[in-house]
Amino acid sequence: MVRSVCMRLLPILLALPSGIAWAETERQQELRHLVKHDCGSCHGLTLQGGLGPSLTPDRLKPFTAEQLAMTIVHGRPGTAMPPWLPFLSETEAVWLAQGLKEGVFP
């Protein structure tokens, strides 16, 4: 009985850290740095656009975080947008995309 309650709680406990509203881990602060310095070199320091299009919440509204994450991970072949897979995971890319959509960067 006690054990079965534990087993039911476990997935909830495991899921918790991702559900906390924008508390950033050290790795997420690294990613924030990446957005400013690496993404910013093309998309503009304040993400208003440059060589790449602006990445403001308004502009990104039509896309889901997953769609944007795919672009971040794989890049856009044939354009200047490079694939970022060597530097971040898909989960991190979704987190980044979500942050862009919510306007928490740079």
Contact footprint for ligand HEC (CB under 6 A): 34-35, 38-39, 41-43, 51-53, 55, 68, 71-72, 76, 79-82, 84, 96
Q: Which among 17, 27, 16, 13 is positioned nearest to 96, based on CA atoms? A: 27
- Element spanning 5, H or E: helix 2-19
Choice between 52 and 90, CB closer to ligand HEC: 52
Closest separation in Å from C-beta 3 to ligand HEC: 44
Residue 10 or 83 with smaller CB distance to ligand HEC? 83
Which of 68/94 has CB closer to ligand HEC?
68
Residue 46 or 71 with smaller CB distance to ligand HEC: 71
- CB of residue 14 to ligand HEC, shortest distance in Å: 27
Residue 54 C-beta: closest distance to ligand HEC, Å? 8
The single residue listed with the structure tokens 């924008």 is 22
> Which sign, positive or negative, has the C-alpha torsion 76, 81, 83, 88?
negative
Structural tokens at position 64: 């889901």
Four-point Cα dihedral 19, 25, 30, 34, nearest 10: 20
